[in-house]
Amino acid sequence: MVNTFPTEENKAGLNREDFQKIVNDKQTDLFILRNKKGMEVAVTNYGCALLAIMVPDKNGEYANVVLGHDSIDHVVNSPEPFLSTVIGRYGNRIAKGKFTLFGEEYNLTINNGPNSLHGGPTGFHARVWDAEQLDEGTIQFNYFSQDGEEGFPGNLEVEMVYRLEEEENALVIEYRASSDKTTLVNLTNHGFFNLAGITNPSPSIESNIVTINADFYTPIDDVSIPTGEILKVEGTPMDFRTPHTIGERVNDKFQQLIYGAGYDHCYVLNKPETGALTLAATCTDPASGRVMEVFTTEAGVQLYTGNWLNGFTGAHGATFPARSGICFEAQCFPDTPNKSYFPSATLIEGDEYQQVTIYKFGTL
């Protein structure tokens, strides 16, 4: 691990010593990324968790716009284990923790009702990654996931880079992975965003104005597994092709919103071609004037409105009640390995998985 860039006097007010600990025989630490415009991102190599994203509002005032913690102990023991972490090997749910590859059935750890969620309880979010800060605005993470980890086949080598653009306030996340055996890979970042800035209590994201570049979504059943249908958003509360606030329809007596206790659904992104880096979603907080644009090469983006946040305490006493964070998780569709007509999440031995997702911040 290489960490030679200064962390003192960071805008987030985090202390490096609070993040230095041996966890599972590996060293954890705090890293601060900066760009020329004054944006700062604080991360740790435990789960590659985003601890703070410091960007200005319409008046130039900086605030942390991602839900995070202020010590490694709090990250490790968070009531929300996926709070703003990397997710893998498989983001989202796999029905009953089972899938078949080339005739062989695999069984994963069950950790969400009857299903496997986000790679299992000791998925990539709960691992200490090797980390090297390459320059003031770039950090590279590496992790070796052993064959059989959480039930997934193949030794998987993963490289992930967090990089700040120099001339605009954008966090670029680049993923690469390869395996010595055909396996599943569906990586994402589970950033919980609050563009108003985290406080005690952090304000609701129901006033956020959202657009999503998707004509279709994947409806779910009562345990949040896709039914297999790909339905039009048109004429439903799922339609964000034009701007709507989250709160406008989130409590509608619409069966999909009842199943998800709000929005917790994968949108099928409109793409000119597979793998194109395109605008997936836009989120605006009217009060602060902050705007976030999400670009991705992925086929889908999961909109999650923090329905199960329960008011626990995060960084500097900020609290996170229900719907105080909004997530745009770029990914393959949920339960893809059990839906043969969904775009594949299979990584063939010898091939390379690649993904790029960008979170770009600005103001009205």
Report helix, strand or coil for 67: coil
C-alpha 275/C-alpha 297 separation (Å) is 5
C-alpha 90/C-alpha 259 separation (Å) is 22
Among residues 74, 190, 265, 293, which one is catalytic? Answer: 190
Would you call the peptide bond into 93 cis, given omega within 30 degrees of 0 as the criterion? no
118: which 2 tokens? Answer: 């986000």
159 a catalytic residue? no
| Whether the Cβ atoms of residue 32 and residue 10 lie closer than 8 Å to each other | yes
Among residues 149, 150, 298, 329, which one is catalytic? Answer: 329
94: which 2 tokens? Answer: 């796999």
DSSP secondary structure string, 254-313? Answer: -HHHHHHTS-EEEEEE--SSTT--EEEEEEE-TTT-EEEEEEESSSEEEEE--TT---EE
308: which 2 tokens? Answer: 């199960």
Buried-state track 69-80, b at ≥16 Cβ within 10 A, e below 16: bbbbebbbebeb
229 a catalytic residue? no
Residue whose token pair is 């719907």: 323
Known catalytic residues? 190, 329
